[in-house]
């Protein structure tokens, strides 16, 4: 059986502020620098979702429209033009670093996964210079 | 060590299964089923894995790799209508998955050596969609 990986890239814009409740105001300023600005700041994120599975009879690993629908409904709708700290429930307690954002996306996708191939990898670039990548282990 | 070479080619194609109705093809392949064809600027990244040769200091001769990619991919596929001019796409539906697999089949025997092997074929259909193929699993 032929196994392949298909990766689709999506984009969204969101704001956030990095501020850990476990640290003092001074420590937060020192640790997060500009990212601790009390009014927040924003990024144009680039999100890559990779799925892995066998080639189906149609010569594809995944139905692109079904993947787009899932990501649109479960992820983009949640994040696009939002304030991560205020609009995304997970970030009431969690610092919205891009590392944590990748985990939140992974959890939400796994919870609602309805596609035949498995979720294999998530990569988020916050800017062209910073990217975060996680492999999702096969179950 | 991994060595990656990039090459581009542009081609026209139709994704449709002759055994199905027009409506069924449209449902599965969307706009890619347009019988008159459409096109992409494909970007191919070929990754070779090996140990640098003790004498040459190279994993694989880049000029030779360029020549292999030219002969096996660019010359036969660039500015062609895949379904009409490039076998096996007269029979095999030229989804990006199937094109990636065909490219693997064409170039893998030519980069195989005692200290070197083809590791990955990454084919970008657009900047937002790509396929990774690491070969057929060993039996």
Q: How far is B96 from chain A (nearest CA, A)?
A: 8
Q: Is A35 a catalytic residue?
A: yes
Q: What is the mean pLDDT of chain B?
A: 94
Choice among A48, A90, A106, A126 that is catalytic: A126
Segment B7-11 mean pLDDT: 98
Give the rounded percent of residues in chain B with a pLDDT score beyond 70.
97
Residue A75 pLDDT > 60: yes
Calpha distance B8→A20 (Å, rounded) = 46
How many residues are listed for chain A in this entry? 139
Contact flag B15-A59 (C-beta cutoff 8 Å): yes
Quote the minimal CA–CA distance from B115 to chain A in Å.
Answer: 25
pLDDT mean over A27-54: 96
Residue B136 touches chain A, beta carbons under 8 Å: yes
pLDDT > 90 fraction of chain B, expressed in percent and rounded = 95
Q: Can you give the pLDDT at residue A2? A: 83
Q: Which of B30, B101, B128 sits opposite A2 (nearest CB)?
A: B101
B131 CB neighbours in chain A (<8 A) are 4-7, 61
A126 given a catalytic annotation: yes
Environment class of A124 (CB within 10 Å of its CB; exposed 0-12, middle 13-18, buried 19+)? buried
* Chain segment B56-85, per-residue pLDDT in tens: 999 999 999 999 999 999 999 999 999 999
Looking at residue B139, its pLDDT comes to: 39
Q: Which CATH class is domain A3-135?
A: alpha beta
pTM: 0.92
Q: Is the Cβ pair B131, A58 closer than 8 Å?
A: no
What phi and psi, each to the nearest 5 degrees, are found at residue B133?
-135, 125
- Pair A48, A121: CB distance under 8 Å: yes
Round to whole Å and give the CA distance between A84 and A90: 9
- The two three-digit tokens of residue B137, written as one number: 């699993």
Q: Which of A1, A3, A5, A55 to mutate to test the interface with B (most CBs of B within 10 A)?
A: A5
Mind listing the pLDDT tens digit for each residue in B15-44? 999 999 999 999 999 999 999 999 999 999
- The pLDDT score that the predictor gives to residue A139 is 77
Mean pLDDT of A113-126: 97
The domain spans of chain A are 3-135
pLDDT score of B42:
98
Average pLDDT over residues A54-72: 95
**Domain spanning B2-8+41-133: CATH superfamily:** 6-pyruvoyl tetrahydropterin synthase/QueD (3.30.479.10)
Average pLDDT value over all residues in chain A: 96
In the predicted model, what is the mean pLDDT of residues B112-118?
93
CB-based contact, B129 to chain A, within 8 Å: yes
Q: What is the pLDDT of residue B137?
A: 55
What tokens were used for B138?
């060993």
């Amino acid at each position: 059986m032929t196994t392949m990986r298909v990766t689709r890239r999506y984009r969204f814009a969101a704001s956030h502020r990095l501020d850990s409740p476990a640290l003092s105001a001074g420590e937060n300023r020192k640790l997060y620098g500009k990212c601790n600005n009390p009014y927040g700041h924003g990024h144009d994120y680039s999100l890559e979702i990779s799925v892995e599975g066998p080639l189906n009879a149609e010569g594809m690993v995944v139905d692109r429209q079904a993947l787009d629908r899932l990501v649109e409904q479960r992820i983009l709708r949640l994040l696009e033009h939002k304030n991560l700290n205020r609009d995304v429930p997970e970030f009431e307690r969690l610092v919205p670093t891009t590392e944590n954002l990748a985990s939140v996306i992974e959890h939400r996708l796994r919870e609602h996964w309805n596609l035949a191939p498995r979720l294999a990898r998530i990569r988020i670039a916050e800017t062209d210079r910073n990217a975060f990548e996680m492999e999702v282990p096969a179950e | 060590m991994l060595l990656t070479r990039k090459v581009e080619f542009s081609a026209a194609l139709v994704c449709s299964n002759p055994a199905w109705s027009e409506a069924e093809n449209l449902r599965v392949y969307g706009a890619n089923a347009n019988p008159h064809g459409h096109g992409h600027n494909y970007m191919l990244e070929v990754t070779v894995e090996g140990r640098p040769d003790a004498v040459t200091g190279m994993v694989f001769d880049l000029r030779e790799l360029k020549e292999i990619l030219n002969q096996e991919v660019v010359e036969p596929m660039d500015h062609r209508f895949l379904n009409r001019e490039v076998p096996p796409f007269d029979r095999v539906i030229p989804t990006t998955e199937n094109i990636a697999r065909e490219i693997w089949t064409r170039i893998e025997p030519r980069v195989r050596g005692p200290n070197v092997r083809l590791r990955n074929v990454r084919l970008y259909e657009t900047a937002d969609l790509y396929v990774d193929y690491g070969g057929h699993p060993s039996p």
